[in-house]
Amino acid sequence: MAFSASSSAQPKDATGVLVLADGTVVWGKGFGATGSAVGEVCFNTAMTGYQEVMTDPSYAAQIVTFTFPHIGNVGTNDEDVESAVEGAVGCIVREEVTHSSNFRSTSEFGDWLVKHGKIGLSGVDTRALTRRIRMTGAPNAVIAHAPDGKFDLEALVQRAQEWPGLEGMDLAQRVSREKQQDWEGGSWTLGKGYGRSARDSKPHVVAIDYGSKDNIFRNLVKAGARVTVLPAKATVEEILAHKPDGVFLSNGPGDPAATGEYAVPVIRALLDMDMPIFGICLGHQMLAIAAGAKTTKMHQGHRGANHPVQRVGGHWGETEGLVEITSMNHGFAVDGDTLPAGVEQTHVSLFDGSNCGIAITGKKAFGVQYHPEASPGPQDSFYLFEKFVGMLG
């Protein structure tokens, strides 16, 4: 049974609820952790990878509506976690989660949500909710789960209304590493897990963690680099103390303009000294700001594993016009109309024409909005890691 996305009358077996800031009440069956959490409601169109989505720090302070109806059926495991820090606060699904059926599963999705303090809501008309987001934008809301079915709806509405929203919010400090890490993890192999890479004479990349996904660092290692990860607020002096051959700017949550208040001056200083730089997602956005562009809050954002992106601008030679199938997760974007002279647009979304990549003329600096490490293509975008590491020799 799917509860209406606009009903305020509580069904007798409803143990979960989503309350939007405008007072809309969406009933369902709660699973996972109990309690309540506030955030922005978004939707993700991927058919697989729900555990990676829920553990991606870029989803901090967000409640994910999965458009694919069967979520949780393959269980969870320790290998598909993208980060140990905060990710999505909750999820909304169409069908109730059944017993897992996958040889890699080590725990049920509901039990995993309990362990990690994340709330689930099933039995929801996710198509109706997704259409609402597409028409009116991503709303602020509270998701709640109470096994006894008792909720103070007035208090939940007030909490959703009082939450300030993601615009203007710096979340990178909340999800960043607190200290340096010498990264050693390598690629994953079936039956063997993640390998390890010796820290030898390979080109040295200092990665700034604004809320990074671990698989990005594994791909840098696979491309031939050794990686040292530093916190989001690392200074220019702290970065240069590691004598990097290049600097990587990670993905992360929140408003790039807010995080950029402390990050952009560092990036500009690195650009001034011609440091090779590669940015992904939030890192891409702040690289663009450092180069003189602006970012904007999107109406509904891009979140899924099926987003077509085209190479444009004459930057790619023989591969100009090639289309990559990409994974995306962002609610902010670089405003392509604000790119100054000397900053070339290199990729665009074929869904809405929004900016998905830049390169800075005369610098070894570029960024992409999407997530090449997620490999939905499956390897359409690995060339970006190879391109960056190739600059460092």
Known catalytic residues?
A: 281, 371, 373
- The answer for residues whose C-beta is within 8 angstroms of residue 246's C-beta and 6 or more apart is 203, 204, 205, 206, 225, 275, 276, 277, 278, 364, 388, 389, 391, 392
Spatial separation of the C-alpha atoms in residues 385 and 219, rounded to whole Å: 7
Burial of 101 by CB count in 10 Å (0-12 exposed, 13-18 middle, 19+ buried)? exposed
Q: Which amino acid type is present at position 202?
A: K
Range list of β-strands (E), 93-244: 119-122, 140-145, 181-183, 185-189, 193-196, 204-209, 226-231
Residue with tokens 């500009």: 268
> 216 and 255 in contact (C-beta within 8 Å)?
no
* Count of CB atoms situated within 10 Å of the CB of 36: 21
How is the beta sheet containing 246-249 ordered, strand by strand?
181-183, 226-231, 204-209, 246-249, 277-280, 365-368, 355-360, 343-349, 295-311, 323-334
Residue with tokens 């939030």: 282
* CA distance to 58, 291, 363, per residue, from 341 (Å): 30, 10, 13
- Residue of 179, 178, 177, 206 whose CA lies nearest to 83: 177
- The answer for residues whose C-beta is within 8 angstroms of residue 256's C-beta and 6 or more apart is 282, 285, 286, 289, 295, 332
Spatial separation of the C-alpha atoms in residues 40 and 6, rounded to whole Å: 18
Torsion of CA 128, 129, 131, 136, to 10 degrees: 140
Burial of 288 by CB count in 10 Å (0-12 exposed, 13-18 middle, 19+ buried)? buried
